[in-house]
């Protein structure tokens, strides 16, 4: 499976600044949340799209658990923790629905696309941060293993 995806240079630059200049990963939860709000506004400017974001500080101590999601009906991103990778993932869903009108595509294609986009942005912004997250097993899935989802299969089974 081809996992390299073209992503906008401006977006990569914003995320690179966030990681390298603003030292996102070293901040506390409230600061991270503020930074993601700011990043959301910057991303919106790049794509010229509206939308809302809500970020809570729950599940922060559980790296393997997340209930982040995107609600197309009100163009709302919900994050249960100020996670950069979750933010990128849900922002891609916002783009899919609002910018590219792909909401009618099958859920699997949409999900894989969001995973590829978020991981590509992250890795292009900072290869070091990406590899570090991979090594520490902080990612629910990786570019090597886009479907490592014991977490979803577990929660989806009746
Ligand atoms: Zn998703």
Q: What is the DSSP string of 20-82?
A: HTS-GGGS-HHHHHHHHHHHHHHHHHHHT---EEEE---STT-TT----EEEGGGTEEEESS-
Q: Ligand 1: distance of its center to the CA of 10 in Å?
A: 22
pLDDT tops 50 at residue 151: no
- Three-class SS state of 6: coil
Protein residues within 5 Å, CB atom, of ion ligand 1: 111, 114
The pairing of beta strand 69-71 with beta strand 76-79: antiparallel
Contacts of 91 (CB under 8 A, 6+ apart): 40, 43, 77, 118
Kindly indicate the confidence band of residue 149, based on its pLDDT and cuts at 50, 70 and 90: low
pTM attached to this predicted model: 0.90
Distance between Cα 112 and ligand 1 center (Å): 8
Domain ranges for the chain: 9-156
Please give the distance, rounded to the nearest whole angstrom, from the Cα atom of residue 132 to the centre of ligand 1.
22
Alpha-carbon torsion, ordered 151, 116, 13, 9, to 10 deg: -170
Identify the weakest region by mean pLDDT among 1-10, 21-30, 95-104, 146-155.
146-155
Q: How far is the CA of 138 from the centre of ligand 1 (A)?
A: 17
Confidence of residue 102 (pLDDT cuts 50, 70, 90): confident
Does the pLDDT at position 29 exceed 80? Answer: yes
- CA of 92 from ligand 1 middle (Å) equals 8
């Amino acid at each position: 499976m081809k996992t390299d995806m073209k992503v906008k240079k401006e977006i990569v630059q914003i995320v690179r600044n966030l990681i390298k200049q603003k030292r996102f990963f070293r901040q506390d939860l409230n600061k991270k949340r503020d930074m993601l709000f700011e990043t959301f506004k910057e991303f919106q400017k790049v794509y010229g799209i509206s939308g809302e974001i809500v970020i809570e500080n729950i599940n922060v101590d559980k790296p393997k658990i997340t209930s982040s999601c995107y609600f197309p009906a009100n163009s709302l991103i919900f994050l249960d923790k100020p996670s950069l990778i979750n933010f990128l993932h849900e922002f891609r869903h916002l783009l899919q629905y609002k910018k590219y009108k792909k909401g009618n595509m099958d859920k699997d294609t949409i999900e894989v696309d969001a995973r590829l986009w978020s991981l590509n942005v992250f890795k292009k912004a900072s290869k070091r941060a990406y590899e570090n997250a991979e090594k520490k097993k902080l990612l629910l899935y990786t570019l090597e293993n886009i479907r490592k989802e014991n977490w979803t299969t577990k929660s989806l089974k009746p």
